[in-house]
Amino acid sequence: MFPQARGQRQSPVDITTSKTQHSGDLQENPLRWTYVPENTRSLVNPGYCWRVDVNGKGSLLTGGPLQKEQFILEQFHCHWGCSDSRGSEHTVDGESFAGELHLVHWNQSKYKSFAEAAGHPDGLAVLGVFLKVGKPHPELDIIARLLPFITHKGDRVTLNKPLDPARLLPEGKAYWTYLGSLTTPPCSESVTWILFKEPIEVSHEQLELFREMRCYDAAEECPCDETLNKQFEYGKVINNFRPPLELGNRQLLFLSSLLKIRIMGKAKKVKLHRKQTNPTGLVDVNELIEQGLAGSAKTGTPVEAIVEQLESSVTEEKICGLQSLATICQGDINVSELVENNVIRIASSLLVDQDQSVRHATAGALRNLSVISVELCEFMVDQDVLTPLLALLNRYPSNGQWKPTFDKNMQNQMDERSDTFLQAVNLLWNLCESTSDALNAFNQSQLLEHFVTFLNYKVYGEEIAIAVAQCLLVVSEDNASSWRVLANHAPDLSGLLAIDVVDNTTLMLRALAAGIIGNVPVLLSSHTSQILVCISKTLEDNHRSALGNLTSMLPIEPQKDTVDLEVADDVPIDDETEAQSHQRRRKADLPSEGELEVRSVGRLLQAQRIAAEILTNICSTDDDDWQSDSNENDNNAGSDAESVYDYDTNELNGSVENTDKISVEVLEAIKSLALVEKLWHKAQPVAENVYQILVESEQSTLKKLDALRVSTMLCLHNLCNNITTDDLGGPAAVYNVWIDLGQQVFQGQRNEKLLEASTSLMRAALEHLRKNPELFRQMTENDVQLMLNGVIGCEDAEIRANWLRMLGILGCLLPEPLVKLIIDFVLNTCANEADVWVLAEALDAMMDIFADNDWHAIMHEVGMVAKCKQLDRIMREKLKRDKRQLGDRFPAVSTVRTNLGRFCKYLETELKDYKPNMES
């Protein structure tokens, strides 16, 4: 039936290692791949295995035996046996593995489809991965959990989360390659096989789920008469592998050298919780530099000397190198030098050095590196910092066998081993906050149970408790795998809500505990009132007074932009013992009184920022109304222009005066605890003299202050969207907030994030004043011009959109001369707007103006019909061009484009019988 199955190029084969040939050519042209996890579409049971079908767009396999030809991924599937000792199709020296994964690719350089490629000798390429029994495989677990839903032949399910094929490949990149065939009918002799030598681990339980699959349709009877069949038993798929065939005269090549596997793709953007394609593989340094991680900074740092010290066998030399590395992190670091000299990989191995002082210095240096940028954290994970880091943290038992000791003669500093743990936890926190790979590694490490124990600040000290709580706050956010463990420790966490706050450290620890509880749905539901009280108490402390006291202690002098560093030996004092030398170094590192005050004030600011963010999360609601609006508009594309302002009016009526978006309990607490007023107090700028001292002498505190203001304004923005005007204090109070924010912005906002938060809050506040035009009677053309100037020259799209939205609202409140000024400005701005989303926001705002007033004279005088038709054409072109870039915003922007077409018809209808007043 399948004549090719009797050919001379059939697969699988037994890999006889003594007969393989090493190939230097493959080393010169390394194998390269890239995959798009989101393009794994569905999981199907074809009757003889499980198979994941893939949209190959964006995937690529090239290099190695494939040379320069490019192959894209079509599907991947698995073969297994009836026991854990058999199941692979290929064997190595006659030995089988528990299973074998196949990632099937086709040659898009030569052929137009998978079907066409399968008919040619060079059409297909398959990556083969052996399975051995061991730990559960996290990526295969995504599949295993869905197998009960595709038990029978023909069953199919959509994958409920992205599955990354790259994570199915082993860390070791050595492989065998030969020319062969498909191992299932029609056994086409069109495959270049690439078989990785190193297997990946899969658990016995996962394999058992594979073996529960059925070879027959759900509507059919079980083929019980096929008992003891080699492939099926009582209808179960148990031995779906083809036995090895003769290699014959074919070459079997082996690549054993450690290759650089280049991770291809576009330049990385700064993003939290990104998924990496290859978290522990080797990374091409040149590409890393090209992507902008390395930068072009110049420091003159003697990195080569640091590497020499790190690789020394002398403990003091290692410590000197690590201290130098920690120091240069505080300056304008040249990351390219660190990358090119392999500093991070060399240093991370010292996390498990035999010497405690080396481990301590390593943890501190790597922690300093991790705060530089998200990209550097991602690179540190790529360089496998996590393996030694998690191994180090596992050395600290939570059963009472290890407890820190504190030295009262040294500001109650903890012992060196405990301080190493502190630095390691801070490093883990930074990595988990920057990349989801670190978060996934933490989930699998079983450290979470231990970490909750370390929150006991009376045993482990406040510093360790704070660091662990910060780490737990990050790992518990949208991480369901952590919720069960944390829920089991509800008494420990809730107990921290009731601690006696004696300083800013305990204040911060209480806020962190509230944040962790708020991240766990089952705990939040039972502790909401306690968390809200905690938020209120945290916001009560006067941060302005604390900042005033701090700045009075600081010297008014510019901070250096760079750190002067000379790598030199730490020369010991005569007759100084090793213990005395160690004690001397520790004393030199003790913080001064001013530094202690900086830390204290910083924790106050952080605690209040966390409190604002917790309240934001509690009051957040999922608003998917745009979907129904979009569908409704699409279904009524031929309706008249009335739908334009009906749509907008409905939207407005739903966005304000809605108390159903948060619970009565939360709403009453917000009012009774005066949380709106407390948040507004935190959002205000500090005195100018205080600000200038922070700029000149304490940038880190200034960043925490700005972060607090941004978080409180975003929280107030959220509240504006979810509670009524009266609950915000009434129209007059909201108007005063809007005016105060405007004055702050027009006086020159120094921080772009603050400007975005300020204008977002101004926009949300103005939404509440649509029914109060009397408040704007004193507004003049100069006032409006200030807002127009806010748009002109603004490079940030979000901020421009906020200003344009506000202009649209004001157009519904102001007299005709000012409305005309606004409409004319918006039309001209739209004609020159490059960002299609901002363009949609501006047009939507302009159409709002005509919801309650036709403004015929303005329509005629500014020539709106012609201009809006031109904008309709521009909008259509931009929408087609930027559809992918818009992402989730596309439906909303598309709706505006639909409404704009109707609006043009509305304008024509209104002006058809309009006769301008010639006298005017």
Residues 268, 410: one domain? yes
Q: 269 in a domain, yes or no?
A: yes
Q: What pLDDT does residue 667 have? A: 92
Residues 59, 198: one domain? yes
Give the CATH number, domain containing residue 68.
Answer: 3.10.200.10
Cis peptide before 186 (omega within 30 of 0): yes
How far does CA 192 lie from the centroid of its chain? 37
Query: Quick check: 150 pLDDT over 70?
Result: yes
Residues 314, 170: one domain? no
More confident residue, 408 or 718: 718
Q: What does the alpha-carbon distance between residue 644 and residue 652 come to, in Å, rounded to a whole number? A: 13
Q: 74 in a domain, yes or no?
A: yes
Query: Quick check: 218 pLDDT over 80?
Result: no
Task: Give the model confidence (pLDDT) of 388-411 as tens digits.
Answer: 899 899 889 888 789 999 888 777
Structure tokens at 732: 């007059």
Instruction: Give the residue from 389, 408, 426 where a domain finishes.
Output: 426
Report how far apart the first and last C-alpha atoms of the chain are (Å, whole number). 90
Structure tokens at 292: 């902008």
Q: What pLDDT does residue 490 have? A: 92
Helix 315-328, helix 303-310: angle, nearest 10: 140
How far does CA 634 lie from the centroid of its chain? 33
Helix (H) or strand (E) holding 73: strand 71-80
Alpha helices (H) in 349-487, listed in sequence order: 356-370, 374-382, 386-393, 416-434, 436-445, 448-453, 457-460, 462-475, 480-487
Mean pLDDT score, 514-526: 94
Show the domain range for 36: 3-221+234-255
Residues 865, 896: one domain? yes
More confident residue, 70 or 299: 70
Q: What pLDDT does residue 191 have? A: 96
Mean pLDDT score, 314-334: 77
**Amino acid at site 55:** N
Alpha helices (H) in 114-211, listed in sequence order: 114-117, 138-146, 204-210
Mean pLDDT score, 114-138: 95
Label residue 652 by pLDDT band (50, 70, 90). very low
Mean pLDDT score, 232-256: 85
Query: Quick check: 289 pLDDT over 80?
Result: no
Q: What does the alpha-carbon distance between residue 73 and residue 356 come to, in Å, rounded to a whole number? A: 48
Average pLDDT, the chain: 83
Q: What does the alpha-carbon distance between residue 141 and residue 698 come to, in Å, rounded to a whole number? A: 48
Residues 363, 217: one domain? no
Q: 12 in a domain, yes or no?
A: yes
Residues 59, 175: one domain? yes
Q: What does the alpha-carbon distance between residue 482 and residue 617 come to, in Å, rounded to a whole number? A: 18
Query: Quick check: 872 pLDDT over 70?
Result: yes
Mean pLDDT score, 418-424: 94
Label residue 224 by pLDDT band (50, 70, 90). low
Lowest mean pLDDT among 288-297, 749-758, 788-797: 288-297
Mean pLDDT score, 630-655: 38
Instruction: Give the residue from 401, 426, 451 where a domain finishes.
Output: 426
Q: What does the alpha-carbon distance between residue 143 and residue 209 come to, in Å, rounded to a whole number? A: 10
Residues 248, 110: one domain? yes
Task: Give the model confidence (pLDDT) of 463-492 as tens digits.
Answer: 999 999 999 999 999 999 899 899 999 999
Q: What does the alpha-carbon distance between residue 321 and residue 310 come to, in Å, rounded to a whole number? A: 6
Query: Quick check: 380 pLDDT over 50?
Result: yes
* DSSP calls for 513-527: HHHHHHHSHHHHHHH
Q: What does the alpha-carbon distance between residue 102 and residue 107 come to, in Å, rounded to a whole number? A: 16
Q: What pLDDT does residue 702 have? A: 92
User: What is the sign, positive or negative, of the torsion defined by CA atoms of 250, 256, 259, 263?
Assistant: positive
Closest CA to 526 of 703, 691, 665, 399: 665
Q: What pLDDT does residue 366 have? A: 93
Q: What pLDDT does residue 182 have? A: 93
Q: What pLDDT does residue 21 have? A: 82
Q: Which residue has the tokens 């000397």?
A: 305
Mean pLDDT score, 130-136: 95
Lowest mean pLDDT among 247-261, 282-296, 297-311, 686-700: 282-296
Label residue 747 by pLDDT band (50, 70, 90). confident
Label residue 748 by pLDDT band (50, 70, 90). low
Closest CA to 432 of 463, 389, 486, 490: 389
Query: Quick check: 821 pLDDT over 90?
Result: yes
Residues 245, 265: one domain? no
| Neighbour-count burial of 491, counting CB atoms closer than 10 A to its CB (0-12 exposed, 13-18 middle, 19+ buried) | exposed
Residues 7, 70: one domain? yes
| 3-state class (DSSP) for residue 44 | strand
Q: What does the alpha-carbon distance between residue 60 and residue 166 come to, in Å, rounded to a whole number? A: 11
Residues 24, 47: one domain? yes
Instruction: Give the residue from 360, 394, 426 where a domain finishes.
Output: 426
Structure tokens at 232: 């099926």
Cα Rg, the chain, nearest whole Å: 32
Task: Give the model confidence (pLDDT) of 76-94 as tens digits.
Answer: 999 999 999 999 999 999 9
Lowest mean pLDDT among 63-77, 340-354, 520-534, 706-720: 340-354
Buried b (16+ CB within 10 A) or exposed e, 116-144: ebbeeebbbbbbbbbbebeeebebbebbb
Query: Quick check: 639 pLDDT over 60?
Result: no
Mean pLDDT score, 549-562: 63
Task: Give the model confidence (pLDDT) of 576-633 as tens digits.
Answer: 676 676 666 667 667 788 888 999 999 999 999 999 999 999 988 554 333 333 343 3
Q: What pLDDT does residue 278 have? A: 38
Q: What does the alpha-carbon distance between residue 716 and residue 589 come to, in Å, rounded to a whole number? A: 41
Closest CA to 718 of 791, 615, 809: 615
Contacts of 780-786 spanning 24+ positions with Cβ under 8 A: 781/817, 781/818, 781/821, 784/810, 784/814, 784/818, 784/821, 784/822, 786/742, 786/746
The reported pTM is 0.63
Query: Quick check: 61 pLDDT over 90?
Result: yes
Query: Quick check: 100 pLDDT over 90?
Result: yes
**% of residues, the chain, pLDDT over 70:** 83
Helix (H) or strand (E) holding 606: helix 593-619
Closest CA to 237 of 207, 272, 275: 207
Number of domains in the chain: 3
Mean pLDDT score, 189-198: 95
Q: 193 in a domain, yes or no?
A: yes
Number of neighbours of residue 299 by Cβ within 10 angstroms: 16
Closest CA to 754 of 720, 806, 788, 712: 712
* 8 A C-beta contact, residue 106 and residue 96: no
Mean pLDDT score, 169-186: 91
Contacts of 598-602 spanning 24+ positions with Cβ under 8 A: 598/550, 598/698, 598/700, 598/701, 600/503, 600/504, 600/505, 600/546, 601/504, 601/543, 601/546, 601/547, 601/550, 601/701, 602/700, 602/701, 602/704
Residues 319, 204: one domain? no
* DSSP calls for 667-725: HHHHHHTTHHHHHHHHHSPPPHHHHHHHHHH-HHHHHHHHHHHHHHHHHHHHHHTTS-T
Residues 265, 217: one domain? no
Q: 93 in a domain, yes or no?
A: yes
Count of alpha carbons within 13 angstroms of residue 557, beta-carbon side: 4
How far does CA 656 lie from the centroid of its chain? 31
Label residue 7 by pLDDT band (50, 70, 90). confident
Query: Quick check: 567 pLDDT over 70?
Result: no
Structure tokens at 269: 């953007």
Of these ranges, 276-290, 376-390, 422-436, the one predicted with the greatest mean pLDDT is 422-436
Q: What does the alpha-carbon distance between residue 686 and residue 605 come to, in Å, rounded to a whole number? A: 13
Lowest mean pLDDT among 47-61, 443-457, 633-647: 633-647
Phi, psi (rounded to 5 degrees) for 287: -70, -40
* DSSP calls for 304-369: HHHHHHHT-SSHHHHHHHHHHHHHHTTS---HHHHHHTTHHHHHHGGGG-SSHHHHHHHHHHHHHH
Q: 643 in a domain, yes or no?
A: no
Lowest mean pLDDT among 197-206, 287-296, 812-821, 898-907: 287-296
User: What is the sign, positive or negative, of the torsion defined by CA atoms of 486, 491, 492, 495?
Assistant: positive
Closest CA to 321 of 292, 294, 349: 349
Residue 126 β-bridge partners:
104, 193
Give the CATH number, domain containing residue 331.
Answer: 1.25.10.10
Query: Quick check: 900 pLDDT over 60?
Result: yes
Query: Quick check: 752 pLDDT over 70?
Result: yes
Q: 757 in a domain, yes or no?
A: no
Query: Quick check: 228 pLDDT over 90?
Result: no
Lowest mean pLDDT among 306-320, 566-580, 831-845: 566-580
Q: What pLDDT does residue 281 have? A: 36
Number of neighbours of residue 852 by Cβ within 10 angstroms: 11
CA angle 592, 596, 602 (to 5 degrees): 145
Lowest mean pLDDT among 104-108, 366-370, 457-461, 883-887: 883-887
Q: 791 in a domain, yes or no?
A: no
